[in-house]
Structure 1
Amino acid sequence: MKKILIIACCACCISYLHAQKSVDLQECRQLALEHNKSLKIAEENVRAAQSLSKAAFAEFFPNISAYGTYRHNQKNLSLLGEDAHLPVGMMDAGGNFGTGITETSLPTPNADGTFSFKESAINNKFTLVNGQAVPLDTQGNPFDPQQNPEKLLWKNYALLPKDAMAFDIQNIFVGGISFVQPVFMGGKIIQLNTIAKSNQRIAEARVQKTAEELLVNVDEAYWRVVSVENKVRLAKEYRNLVAQLDTNMQALQEEGLATKADALKVKVKLNEADVSLTKAENGLNLSRMALNQLCGLPLEEAVELKDAELEESIDVQPPVSIEQAWANRPEVKMLAQAGNIAEANKKMMVSRFMPTVALTGGYVTTNPNVFNGYEKKFNGMFTVGVTAVVPLFHFGEKIHTLNASRAQAVVAKLQLEEAKEKIELQIHQDTYRIGESLKKQEMTRKNVEKAQENLMYAQEGFDAGVITSTDLLMAQTAWLSARSEYIDATVDVKLNNVYLKKSTGTLYQE
């Protein structure tokens, strides 16, 4: 049964090892670029900036819109409070227009609604006789045209009923199409397009900046895993050396050739080696999880790195001119575009002092309409016109905003100059660091050779009984320290080369 379990465990381990994914640095970079959320956010911001740039360009074209309105009113509109009478004119033989009433018979209105004449008075009121409206004569009696027709003087006046001057406005419909075409806006639209394009370029530069930071993080995590893997192997080798020494010390103690203190001293070193190995293994697991998180892989997935042997061969960053580095760096690109935005904003503040001219027009229709009397149907007309707005006085508000925009333009220029100075300093620092790390790598390589030789002689001396276990432990510790420093120096060379590429703006171009 135990054999079966052992065979099953071995089969599982073999299948696990075969299932490991083997990747190199470039594959890790590509995975990170494909799965990183911050980079995707920056790319979406680029798409948003492109849409806003297109929207700003659309301001050059006319704005066409349709509109419609319905309103219900409680009351109708009436121009007269009551029925009115208008004099009826006639043309005399001399071609003069008159009312047919003598000067002595001109009416004057009274407070009771009647008209007074010099000769007689007339009444413009009606009464109902057998359900029919009958006018009243001058004495206020129902008028009978067959008897005394001269008593009614209305023959010289026309009746204007109140209902004839009442208009139905309870349901009103208004609709139409209008357009506004900018003709001269003082340069506002041009500067708005400049700002929109600069914002788009800033978003693109921010994508480059985000990608460069991501690549640096991936490289750091990748080489950290490689470093810790090598240190885990080193810790295992060191632990095996101490374990072998512990076995020898136990044998010497049993033979009486070593004291118990010497044996305990080796035991302490063995325990320290076990603790160091455990810490290194835990650090390796956490480093792999960090790399998997950057690459978008499951945290527990085992990934085998192709550069685990940590070779010294490296492509050192070729020299790049400062001007070319400025042109490559996303920070300089963003600050340069920020300066363009500040200049465009200053010009927009100047345009506020200028007049604006726009062409307007459209078609409007209403129901009811008054184009041909008062009609309860739709009718409309075309309109066209020019609108101009000239600013006259603003109590200094526009002048102050113009001064503020000028100051912002100066600030943007100074920020760009400061960033260029810092980038130049950063490039020199990273260049010196590469030189230092290469020298350190060479020195630690020699130290490893010397420590290896020293350990060999110490082991031979201990086996020959010439040196003590303490000297051998010191030789082993020196060997461990030299190997560890060499690993760190080799990783520093690779990372400093990455930092120099980032400083010169060539990391993202790769």
Structure 2
Amino acid sequence: MKKLNIVVILLFISVTSISQTLTLQECKELALENNKVLKKSQLKLDASEKIKKNAFTNYFPTISASATAFKSSKDFLDIKTDAMDLPVYDGNLANLSTATQFAYVPPISIQTLDYANTAMVTAVQPLYAGGRIRIGNKLAELNGEVTQSQYNLTKSEILVTTEDYYWNLVALNEKIITLKNYEKLLKELQKEVGDFYDAGLVKKSDLLKVQLELNKIEGNKLKLTNGTEILKMAFSQHLGKPYTENFNVKDSLTTILPPQNYYAETGVALKNREEFKMLNKAVEAEELQKKMTNGELLPQLAVGVGGMYLDMIDQDNTYGLAFATVSIPISNWWGGIYKKQEHKIKIDIAKNNLAQNSELLQLQMSKTFRDLMEAYKQIEIAQTSVNQAVEYQKEMEDNYDAGITSLSDLLEARAISQEAKDAFIDSKTTYKITIANYLLAIGETQF
């Protein structure tokens, strides 16, 4: 039973270890699922949806209820009359002044209305509000579209950052491999020089030169290892996953396609940019705000129904109500003229921003594509340097074996070859990251 448990534990550790080696696609999925910046953007998108739903409720009647109750310290109606004699007559006004009989009326005192209880419910349905309800719903919908564009932009930026982390980690992994290969060659050389030294064929200084070069490699390995671990920690935080030592990436920098595979016309690509969409929405929003102002200057018509309960003077009654209201904002017309002019100016500003920033966005696309072509050219240059450095190294190795060149020249040739290989890795990494930035610039989906 214990053996079975050990096997299960080892299998779990093995599966966990494998699952920590991720592809670029898996890293993108994790970033979109867990990244905190994107979660914040998603919450804003959810809030904009609630705003749209809230604006839609303005199409429905406004229902309100109220209740009032009061008790006074003294009666509101306090009526007192003195005693009096009222003339009695036959109904002919001509005989009133000569009446001979009178009816005695005693003094009267009336005190009441020291409390009242009322309750009312009304429902008001707007029939016409200058189009403001419809425009308000369009503004809420427009706000949702802008928020969606902001979310898409944040998502794209996170994917580019993911590629940045990913390809830099790939590059560090490849540099570690080339450094270990270089170290292996030096250790073989160290053994060879050590044998020559033991045989008295070379000086001790030659052996020390190889050892010094190995010490440099040891220092570089330490720097690469620390840099790799720090990058993994930052990458893990970006992906929203706990950092583990066995976390790594799968790809290599072998597949390199030319820039023409990614090129897009700036005029066509401009329509895909979220910033361009938001600039257009800004113009539309100002136009809707102007229409909203126009609606504020128009008459408003509403109808309503209601019910009221009244309890006072020891009587309670219920009443049904139906009413209509018309409101004409006469005093707003003077100031409204200037407000409409203000909105016209704001529309012109938004259109100017659209034109100016559209040019800047296209300029950015052109520049990023030039950066892409330059990065691709740097790969070709770096590849040529590697070929020449390897050829030079081979020649120095042959000359050293033939005894016609010094150990220092051989070490220098191998160091040059190592630097050329590192520069080649850096150029390919830069190109991969520049591809991601160019796709972002032309509004291409990278997921």
TM-score, scaled to structure 1: 0.78
For structure 1, list consecutive stretches of 5 or more residues without a partner in the other structure: 1-7, 106-152, 369-374
Identical amino acids, percent of aligned pairs:
26
**2:324 is equivalent to residue 386 of structure 1:** yes
User: Structure 1, residues 162-193: CA drift from partner, whole Å, max 9, x if none?
Assistant: 13xx22323x2110111222222222222211
Give the CA deviation at 1:250: 4.0
Q: 2:44 and 2:297 mapped to 1: Cα distance? A: 34
**Residue range with higher mean Cα deviation, 257-266 or 375-384:** 257-266
Q: Say if 2:80 and 2:108, in contact at 8 Å, map to a contact too.
A: no
Aligned to 2:237: 293
Q: Say if 1:89 and 1:98, in contact at 8 Å, map to a contact too.
A: no
Q: 1:82 and 1:283 mapped to 2: Cα distance? A: 104
Q: Which of residues 17, 20, 45 is equivalent to 1:19? A: 17
Q: Give the alignment of 1:67-466 within 5 angstroms.
A: 67-83=66-82, 85=84, 87=86, 89-92=88-91, 95-96=92-93, 99=96, 102=98, 155-159=102-106, 161-163=108-110, 166-170=111-115, 172-307=116-251, 309-314=252-257, 317-368=261-312, 375-393=313-331, 397-466=335-404
Aligned residues: 438
User: Which secondary structure does the structure 2 equivalent of 1:465 belong to?
Assistant: coil
User: Structure 1, residues 243-278: CA drift from partner, whole Å, max 9, x if none?
Assistant: 333444444444444444444443332222111111
Give the CA deviation at 1:458: 1.3
Q: 1:279 and 1:389 mapped to 2: Cα distance? A: 77
Give the CA deviation at 1:89: 4.9
Whose Rg is larger? 1
**Residue range with higher mean Cα deviation, 331-340 or 200-209:** 331-340
User: Which secondary structure does the structure 2 equivalent of 1:507 belong to?
Assistant: coil
Q: 1:416 and 1:351 mapped to 2: Cα distance? A: 26
User: Which secondary structure does the structure 1 equivalent of 2:385 belong to?
Assistant: helix
Partner amino acid, structure 2, of 1:35 = N
Give the CA deviation at 1:424: 0.9
Partner amino acid, structure 2, of 1:72 = K
Aligned to 1:38: 37
User: Which secondary structure does the structure 1 equivalent of 2:344 belong to?
Assistant: helix
Q: Say if 1:335 and 1:416, in contact at 8 Å, map to a contact too.
A: yes
Give the CA deviation at 1:314: 4.2
Q: Say if 1:293 and 1:299, in contact at 8 Å, map to a contact too.
A: yes
User: Structure 1, residues 453-490: CA drift from partner, whole Å, max 9, x if none?
Assistant: 22122122222221112211221111111111111122
Cα–Cα, structure 1 residues 270 and 98, in superposed 2: closer, same or farther, change >3 Å? Answer: farther
- Bigger share in helix: 2
**Residue range with higher mean Cα deviation, 51-60 or 298-307:** 298-307
Q: 1:362 and 1:193 mapped to 2: Cα distance? A: 27
Give the CA deviation at 1:493: 2.3
Q: Give the alignment of 1:46-85 within 5 angstroms.
A: 46-83=45-82, 85=84
Q: Say if 1:312 and 1:490, in contact at 8 Å, map to a contact too.
A: no
User: Which secondary structure does the structure 2 equivalent of 1:440 belong to?
Assistant: helix
Q: Say if 2:83 and 2:104, in contact at 8 Å, map to a contact too.
A: no
Partner amino acid, structure 2, of 1:268 = L
TM-score, scaled to structure 2: 0.88
Cα–Cα, structure 1 residues 377 and 18, in superposed 2: closer, same or farther, change >3 Å? Answer: closer
Q: Say if 1:89 and 1:97, in contact at 8 Å, map to a contact too.
A: no
Partner amino acid, structure 1, of 2:108 = P
Cα–Cα, structure 1 residues 14 and 362, in superposed 2: closer, same or farther, change >3 Å? Answer: closer
For structure 2, list consecutive stretches of 5 or more residues without a partner in the other structure: 1-5
**Residue range with higher mean Cα deviation, 311-320 or 18-27:** 311-320
